[in-house]
Structure 1
Amino acid sequence: MPMEGDPSSLAKVAQLFILSLAWGMQIWVTFISGFVLIRNVSRHTFGLVQSKLFPFYFSALVVCAFLNLCIFACYHPRELLSTWETLQGMLYFVCLLLASVNGLGFSRATTAAMFRMHAIEREHGLGGEVGLAARREAYQQLRERDPKYRDARQIFFKHHGLSSFCNLVCLTCSAFNLLCLALHLSSL
């Protein structure tokens, strides 16, 4: 049964901590770690690191979104929700849903396609260079010559694009919920 009224100090701190943790992870993974890695390690090492990082990231994001939604729902009975609170609750749910879809679907498909690409690239002596611009012509020629590589690359970019879109929507949901929380610090 939902708990009406003012949330306890513990609930307020938990909500703020969990939402801030999710936001910080999203900012770091989306805008910082990938750009630092791609400029400093080989393409294949970058892909390997991302393949290990993303499952943990999406799992942690799912847990944070679930906990945030639970805390929010406990102190906001459905019958008493304002329009803004309804939107806020929906955004917690959207973040939970998209992080789950990303972790269970798009991320796995992207990683599988990436590893197929890596295997073909290794056969042609590619993948050890640092940065995206290195040996660009060799990758272009490989795409033109090898239909398996071209197909794996198309699958990779399709799923990577969908995953990135879901991640950006999740990030936007967290930003909006942080804004709502900041504007109503006396309650959740």
Structure 2
Amino acid sequence: MEEGEDPGSLIKVVHLLVLSGAWGLQMWVTFASGFLLFRSLPSHTFGLLQSKLFPVYFHVSLGCAFVNLCILAPQRAWIHLTLWEISPLTLLLLSLTLATTNARWLEARTKAFMWALQAVEKERGLGYRGARQPPGPNPYHQLREKDPKYSALCQKFFYYHGLSSLCNLGWLLSNGLCLAGLALGLKSL
């Protein structure tokens, strides 16, 4: 596309809808449903639910990041890009990279360690962590102290879960900054 050429109203609307839809989905999954479900469900039920929801969430986010990058990338001649024009491209590329990492690598590893942890917990009669945990000493902490296999599984699970959470927050921030850039570019409301 020639520099300064208008990409068209439909392309602009699609770009805004996909970007804002992805950001809204990320906000809901990250801050609303995750905390609500974690506090309301037994841990094994929560894990089962997340194991079904997260692959879809990660792949929808990956698809949105890809569509947004494909829409924005060909709109300008690359040699003439200013810092203001290259920032959204960089943020969308980062978003695509983080979404791909979560969808294709971290999700499967996190889920595998979660299933292994749950198997050990079921052997010991556990699985009620969260809102329904009985009063008294925490049986999960006691299990970690007594069982080195369980402790190692916990470390690996929390490592991959932490990386996945960081990727999620990174692509949430990337999409939010892209939306802020679009809002700052508006001439009037």
Give the corresponding residue for 1:43.
43
The aligned runs of 1:1-188 (5 Å cut-off) are 2=1, 4=3, 5-131=5-131, 134=134, 137-185=138-186
* Residue identity opposite 2:50 in structure 1: Q
Provide structure 2 residue ranges, at least 5 long, that are not aligned to the other structure. none
Change (3 A) 1:130 1:29: same
Q: Is the 8 A contact 1:99 1:167 kept in 2?
A: yes
Change (3 A) 1:176 1:95: same
CA offsets per residue over residues 44-64 of structure 1, 9 Å max, x none? Answer: 000111111111011001110
Question: In 2, Cα distance between the equivalents of 1:132 and 1:22?
Answer: 33
Change (3 A) 1:185 1:161: same
Q: Is the 8 A contact 2:94 2:171 kept in 1?
A: yes
The two structures, once aligned, show a CA RMSD in angstroms of: 1.6
Q: Is the 8 A contact 1:91 1:177 kept in 2?
A: yes
Q: Is the 8 A contact 1:3 1:74 kept in 2?
A: no
- TM-score normalized by structure 2? 0.92
Provide structure 1 residue ranges, at least 5 long, that are not aligned to the other structure. none
Question: In 2, Cα distance between the equivalents of 1:17 and 1:9?
Answer: 12
Q: Is the 8 A contact 1:107 1:163 kept in 2?
A: yes
CA offsets per residue over residues 144-185 of structure 1, 9 Å max, x none? Answer: 111111111000000011111111110110010001111223
- Give 1:130 deviation, angstroms: 4.2
After alignment, is 26-35 or 74-83 more displaced?
74-83
After alignment, is 77-86 or 119-128 more displaced?
77-86
- Give 1:129 deviation, angstroms: 4.5
CA offsets per residue over residues 90-117 of structure 1, 9 Å max, x none? Answer: 1100000110001111111111101100
> Percent identity among equivalent residues?
47
- Give 1:77 deviation, angstroms: 2.2
Question: In 2, Cα distance between the equivalents of 1:6 and 1:12?
Answer: 9
- TM-score normalized by structure 1? 0.93
